[in-house]
Structure 1
Amino acid sequence: MNERVPGAEVSAVAMIALAPGFEVFCRNVGETHALYHEIFVEKCYEKACAGLSSSDVVFDVGANIGLTTLFLHRRCPGLQFHCFEPIPDVARVMRANLGRFGVDAKIVQAAVSDQAGTVRFQCYPNNTVMSSIFADKNEDRAISERYLANCGVDEDSIRYLLEGKFDAVEIECESVRLSDVIVREGVDRIDLLKIDVEKSEAHVLAGIDDEHWPLIRRVALEVHDVHGALNATIDKLASRGFSCEVSRSPLLEGTTLYDVLALRK
């Protein structure tokens, strides 16, 4: 489903203040504060947005409730967004947040993969940011445990904080290929392609046809380095004309998660 952002009317969700004058809709308060810290405090997309100009085109793949889009919108007003989020309740909150702040965005309520159709998606209602086609509750919980331990949280508190966070429900959702969206929407450039899709990043990249890679100026993605995924991703991007920089938040030390920023040479 692809639609323009309508007005921000949401029921059965909370509105919380993340900073003075910055209130957003959310479903999970703790999750939203953690996302805000990563995006607005640690500024994990600071380098990715350097050099963006008004009217540039951004694809936000794995947009969740829209905080990355809001960060980029606040840093560079006038950006044009295509935001992808498969979980209906989460997409509804994102739609409201982007409408509330007047963001120029098209929302695609779908998973992004290498095939168009439908997929079975494992959703963690109490931890939506880690939901995935390839969710594994034991692996995902281990990442969260390490993250909290790196934050200085003790073991008893970690057990309490993660109670119920990985109770999953399976949903069926539409899947789309990025190249199909590029053709359908008449996109002639992507100045930033942001990907945060919890182990599906290789499938997202595989859904870009050869003729569309030259349209992409930069890529910022999270990689789960399982079975050599990090090196494979770097090699894939290098073969498409990008130079890559790899980093990782200190709070994710000891996990399989890395951030890759790829800039066209």
Structure 2
Amino acid sequence: MHHVKNLAKRAGHRVQKTVGYRLLRTKKWGVDWLDDCLRIASEGWHPQFRSLEVVFDVGANIGQTARKLHLRACPRTIYSFEPVASTFEQLRSNTENLRSVKCLPYGLSDNDQEAQINIYTASVLASTCDRSPILSSDCEAFERTETIQLRTVDSVCREFEIDSIDLLKVDTEGADLRTLQGASEMLASHRIGFVLFEFYCPTSPITENGTYCPVDAFLSSQGYRLISFYTDFVHEQQSIGVYNALYMATPEVLV
């Protein structure tokens, strides 16, 4: 047995050295948020959310997350929200063969209203925030503004008669707190299983947009607990990066 373990270890080192991949234990937390969601759901941590049947993909961009969910989780319905017109057309084209994906041409925030969104050279950076720790209309990547429509999670759930959301994924480039505040009714009644949101740093002297602590305080006040962090990017010199945090309702507040 010891010989077999050594062979496996050496094989793992060869894979890492040759192709840049490293083998990890399958139950290690914080590697892949979807793996962690599926694991928790299958183990029944939350009696009302045992699968990812209904997903809100807020800030869907061109469908990267929708395709990942479709292939690995097979939800009944993925509501993909993308407010930028040109990006929405790419989203619809990329997901037209995925029956579970429902594309909606508006963003989600804390009010139903029109708003201005800043468009940058990379479509994934589009944001309704004037400034965040990594973005502003003064930076070289800024291209233009566009008028978009915003809704709230709560109003969309009322319109489509959605009783519960298994996963609320929020990637709105600094406006994540506003999006979650627009889900206050669903969160307060614990009708959302998992919440995944993006942030750039814990706090910032520039703005709250894109920072972690205000979102943590809000979700904690609604009875949600931190599960894990996921790192997409870390800046070499500045104290910023691109991170995601996964939350779920604590057992004490389940009804």
Distance 1:243 1:123 in 2: 33
Corresponding residue number in structure 2 for 1:244: 226
Deviations 1:202-246 (CA, angstroms, capped at 9, x unpaired): 110111233554210110110233446312211211121211135
Corresponding residue number in structure 2 for 1:140: 135
Deviations 1:44-78 (CA, angstroms, capped at 9, x unpaired): 54323443767710000000001101101100224
Corresponding residue number in structure 2 for 1:90: 87
Q: How does 1:44-59 map to 2 (within 5 A)?
A: 44-50=33-39, 51=41, 56-59=53-56
Distance 1:137 1:200 in 2: 9
Q: 3-state SS of the aligned residue for 1:235?
A: helix
Task: Note if 1:76 corresponds to 2:52.
Answer: no
Q: 3-state SS of the aligned residue for 1:91?
A: helix
Q: Which has the higher contact order (CA 8 A, sep 6+)?
A: 1
Task: Note if 1:219 corresponds to 2:195.
Answer: yes
Corresponding residue number in structure 1 for 2:108: 112
Distance 1:58 1:136 in 2: 29
Give ranges in structure 1 of 5+ residues lacking alignment. 1-41, 142-163
Deviations 1:240-262 (CA, angstroms, capped at 9, x unpaired): 12111352426325415331100
TM-score by length of 1: 0.67
TM-score by length of 2: 0.70
Distance 1:91 1:165 in 2: 24
Distance 1:198 1:78 in 2: 25
Corresponding residue number in structure 2 for 1:3: none
CA contact (8 A) 2:53 2:74 kept: no
Amino acid at match of 2:195: V
> In the comparison of the two structures, how many residue pairs are matched?
200
Cα distance 1:49–1:59, how it changes in 2: closer, same or farther (>3 A)?
farther
Q: 3-state SS of the aligned residue for 1:92?
A: helix
CA contact (8 A) 2:226 2:247 kept: yes
Corresponding residue number in structure 2 for 1:232: 214
Corresponding residue number in structure 2 for 1:16: none
* Larger fraction in helix: 1
Give structure 1 regions of 4+ aligned residues with deviation exceeding 6 angstroms.
52-55
Whichever of the two has the greater Rg, that structure is 2
CA contact (8 A) 2:118 2:142 kept: no
Amino acid at match of 2:56: F
Cα distance 1:255–1:138, how it changes in 2: closer, same or farther (>3 A)?
closer
Distance 2:149 2:32 in 1: 31
Task: Note if 1:176 corresponds to 2:165.
Answer: no
CA contact (8 A) 2:55 2:75 kept: no
